[in-house]
Chain A
Amino acid sequence: MKIIVTGCGKTGVAAIESLVSEGHDVIAIDNRLEAIEEIRDIYDIMCLCSNGADYNTLTEAGIEEADMFIAVTGSDELNMLSCIIAKKMGAKHTVARVRNPEYNDKSLGYIKQQIELSLIFNPEYLVAQEIFNILKFPAAVNVETFSRRNFEMAELLLRDNSPIIGMKLSDLRKKFQANYLICVVQREDKVFIPDGNFVLESGDRIGITADPAEIQKLLKMLGILQKSVRDVMILGGGRIAYYLSKMLIGSGNTVKIIDSNRARCETLSDLLPKARIICGDGADRELLLSEGLTASDSFVALTGMDEENILVSIFASSKQVKKVIAKVNGVELSDMAEKLGLDCVVTPKQTVSGIISRYARAVANSAGSNVETLYKLMDGKVEAAEFNVAVDFEYQNIPLKDLKLKENILVSGIIRRRKAIIPSGDEVIKAGDKVIVIAANTVLNDLSDIMR
């Protein structure tokens, strides 16, 4: 597909990277020459140094035959404007990033409809949502939800004292009887889709899919269920912090935000009257301790500096804060943060590339069994995709054990009439189902791609 991306900041580059790796023809537009020069040599794309809302630029980029137009410049208004122009000039689908909280309420749907956007997304909101899910579920390092929360995938890190270390999966199943599936295991740099003979080791990161209630049940049996957090301390008062605080306050938690910018603190205090806003340097230990870091049961580092987030999070872990989450933009740094002992790192880049790839695949394949949700897990090595089964799906009503699936693919869940089913070999796929597939090192565009 031919895809035009305007805006080559962090989000733009994340989008470009995932689109290029999926083999699309990408044309990048940015009016900052430095930004263009930085990516020109790294990705196999065409670059234009210009304004993405300009008629001539869009003509030069070949907007008439573009399948998708993605606007992710720093300005919401410019994104919306360029999407309007792109649509009028013939782009088939337009995607805009809109992150100003003022637009992110009821007006969002209205805007989307009026300017005929195919997708409107707000990475900060999505990242906040991701962190919120983890905080609700602190035993996990990551939680993704499918099919409007009827199905979840929780990533757990197995520590030395975990009771299930050294167990075969088949034995585990006999011992803890619940409706769940361990569908993926990451050990160091390798990713496995395990079978019954797989033995778990300390340090493994495992992915469990199940109904949310079943996951709670399993964790209770394993003895690692932690209570959901109550007091959250957030470092850095950016947009993610704002959305996250709003969600946390909405579900009855207490929130404390620390930011060094006075003006920003005042805005936050205006927007979030129930939160406690502290103006000060978050890297200052005294401040953190005097504001009750040790009394909080969770700490979230969301400043713009990866390094600061990592270091302060390590400090918080050392003060026995139960749940520590650090936002890290750089993928290399997030690897390092995990080696330094931070198990819970949130990478906005992965969230962005997940949503962009999902949409691009849905566009590329609008007739077949579409991707409904797509998550990139385990540093992007594994994809968990939810498909809607179309009426004309070829392999309906065949027991799963008789289907010839590709390697490294697992059908880990079927949702039928809002009920989650952990499929056994005798289960079949029917039209109207939602099917959740885990795939390692494979790109899935359509549900039938899982067949050999």
Chain B
Amino acid sequence: MNVKAVFNTLGKIAVVEGVLLVLPLFVSLVYSEFFSAAIFALTVVFAAAVGGILMLLTQRHSHVIYAKEGFAIVAGAWILISLIGALPFKLSGNIPSYTDAFFETVSGFTTTGASILTDIERLPKGMLFWRSFTHFIGGMGFLVFVMAIIPNITDRSIHILKAEVPGPAVGKLVPKIKDTAKILYLIYVAITLLEIIMLICGGMPVFDSVVHSFGTAGTGGFGIKSDSITSYSPYCQWVIGVFMMLFGINFNIYYLVLMRKFKDVLKSSELWGYITIMLVSTVIVTVNNLGIYSRLATSSRHSFFQVSSVMTTTGFATADFDTWGGISKAILLILMFIGSCAGSTGGGLKVSRVIMLFKIISREINRLLHPRAVNTIHFEGRKVDEGTIDGVSHYFAIYVICFVSAFLLISFESFGIETNFSATAACFNNIGPGFARVGPTLNYAAYSGFSKIVLSFAMLLGRLEIFPIIIAFSPSVWKK
């Protein structure tokens, strides 16, 4: 293990985070929140110092990395940025406990949106901005951002890209990683700007529009009101609902659109699967909700918004879906696990994996019926190699094991199975709100410190697709 290369890269990452923290510093100044500004300034200095020291101690060393360094860098980076990012909340006293601040920041970077804040509206604007900005950075990936702006952070950065970008297989858009990262961010920023403009046009205040667009873009879900999006106009709710859906789509699709390869877009089976699941769920939930919301328009708006929010793993809410009927809640729970498309900013298992899992199951059944049959699995118009198939099945197995372990650990809390199960599902799949005591109108404040740490790691496991965290914590990797 090239420990020095890992720490050198972590140093660069701390410096980049320090630079990003200047943004909330400015926002605080704009709103004349000088105390917050001072806190952010302090954190900027601290991040730069940490980064500078790490880089100084490890300079002039080989920067060639291999797969294990890639995993260690990604895991280390996400923990480091969360540790630093939690400081403003703790230092300003807005979140008195550092564990809570860490939970809140991890929830932000992993784009979960699970909060421990009981009275959000009390927070200064600068803090609210930073809280949502973490969604924006974490959504497309912090290291992808670093790769887009810093030339050659390490040799063979592909290992970092592989470890950070979710999905069964990493496809570069263009030959160079740096250019790929730039294109991804350009698309990301462009769609976010479009959403901000459309929300402002709908009469939402500028600050609210920006913050909510960050939450949508990263499929995060931190709001700035206790009732999330409920009090905004139906137009704004539709805009956010549709944009959540857009950010749950694989970004390669947008690149194909930019390249005017519309035929390839229409051929994407993951896209069709994603849209079909979302529409069918919306229709069922709408019909089921007609008893609660008498008008079809209201029912369809709330149903689509909640389905889109949960499936893309965002976690905004326009209605308290905890009060909905059994079938609606069941569908939302299942959607939590399916998640969005691979290569999007969302979490969960990913639609492409779910489709492949079904194909693997059908092949297995076929094999039992016709023991000598030879079946290849096709996806997106091409043969899936056995390595990827094994990868998908193994990922599913380890996903279940991790979920069960996290669920077991937080079940020491006396909240009942619905709360604990949905809380684990909502954190592990990076959604945010669950059911019962962690429903959309409530929060995670009631959990103990231990459970909050367990849930923080569940969020990291979910966002980084398990392996980087597990690998970074296995002692054998760190042996010389």
Interface residues of A (CB under 8 A from B): 2, 25-27, 33, 40-42, 44-46
Contact = CB atoms under 8 A, between A and B. Distances in A.
B172 A42 contact: no
Given A40-B158, A41-B159, A25 B176 contact: yes
Contact of A44 (B67, B176, B385): B176
Q: Which 3 A-B pairs have the closest CB atoms?
A: A25-B175, A46-B175, A45-B175
Contacts of B179: 25
A398 to B, nearest CB: 35
A26 B177 CA distance: 12
Contacts of A25: 174-176, 179
B182 to A, nearest CB: 13
B363 interface: no
Nearest to B171: A46
Interface string B353-385: 000000000000000000000000000000001
A44 B159 contact: no
Contacts, number: 26
Interface string B17-28: 000000000000
A57 to B, nearest CB: 11
A42 B67 CA distance: 11
Nearest to B157: A44
5 contacts: A33-B385, A41-B156, A41-B158, A44-B158, A44-B177
A25 B175 CA distance: 5
A275 to B, nearest CB: 45
A46 B172 contact: yes
A44 B151 CA distance: 13
Contact of B175 (A27, A33, A41, A42): A27
A128 to B, nearest CB: 33
Nearest to A33: B385
A270 to B, nearest CB: 43
A42 B64 CA distance: 10
Contacts of B157: 44
A249 B176 CA distance: 48
Interface in B26-81: 66-67
Given A25-B175, A33-B385, A44-B158, 20 more contacts: A2-B175, A25-B174, A25-B176, A25-B179, A26-B175, A27-B175, A40-B158, A41-B66, A41-B67, A41-B156, A41-B158, A41-B159, A42-B156, A44-B157, A44-B175, A44-B176, A45-B175, A45-B176, A46-B174, A46-B175
A446 to B, nearest CB: 23
A151 to B, nearest CB: 37
Interface in B146-162: 156-159
A50 to B, nearest CB: 9
Contacts of B67: 41
Contacts of A42: 156
Nearest to B386: A33
Contacts of B156: 41-42, 44
Nearest to A28: B175
Nearest to A42: B156
Interface string B172-201: 101111010000000000000000000000
A269 B385 CA distance: 45
Contacts of A44: 156-158, 175-177
Contacts of A33: 385
A2 B174 CA distance: 10
Nearest to B173: A46
Contacts of B176: 25, 44-45
Interface in B269-307: none
Contacts of B177: 44
Contacts of A26: 175
A42 B174 CA distance: 16
B81 to A, nearest CB: 25
A25 B173 CA distance: 12
A109 B424 CA distance: 70
A438 B288 CA distance: 79
Most buried by B among A26, A40, A44, A46: A44
A25 B157 CA distance: 16
A27 B174 CA distance: 9
Contacts of A2: 175
Q: By CB atoms of chain B within 10 A, which of A2, A27, A33, A46 has the most?
A: A46
Contacts of A27: 175
Interface in B125-165: 156-159
A58 B67 CA distance: 30
A376 to B, nearest CB: 21
B160 to A, nearest CB: 11
A25 B183 CA distance: 15
Contacts of A40: 158
B391 to A, nearest CB: 13
A436 B257 CA distance: 48
A40 B175 CA distance: 11
B90 to A, nearest CB: 40
A318 B473 CA distance: 54
Nearest to B170: A40
A343 B156 CA distance: 33
B203 to A, nearest CB: 44
Contacts of B175: 2, 25-27, 44-46
Nearest to B180: A46
Interface string B326-339: 00000000000000
Nearest to A50: B382
A277 B157 CA distance: 51
Contacts of B159: 41
A26 B176 CA distance: 8
A42 B157 CA distance: 9
A41 B70 CA distance: 11
A45 B171 CA distance: 11
A27 B171 CA distance: 13
A177 to B, nearest CB: 46
Nearest to B178: A44
Contacts of A46: 172, 174-175
A45 B172 CA distance: 9
A378 B159 CA distance: 31
B211 to A, nearest CB: 36
Interface in B309-326: none
Contacts of A45: 175-176
Nearest to A60: B264
A163 B177 CA distance: 53
A27 B177 CA distance: 12
A33 B384 CA distance: 12
Interface in B380-406: 385
A360 to B, nearest CB: 14
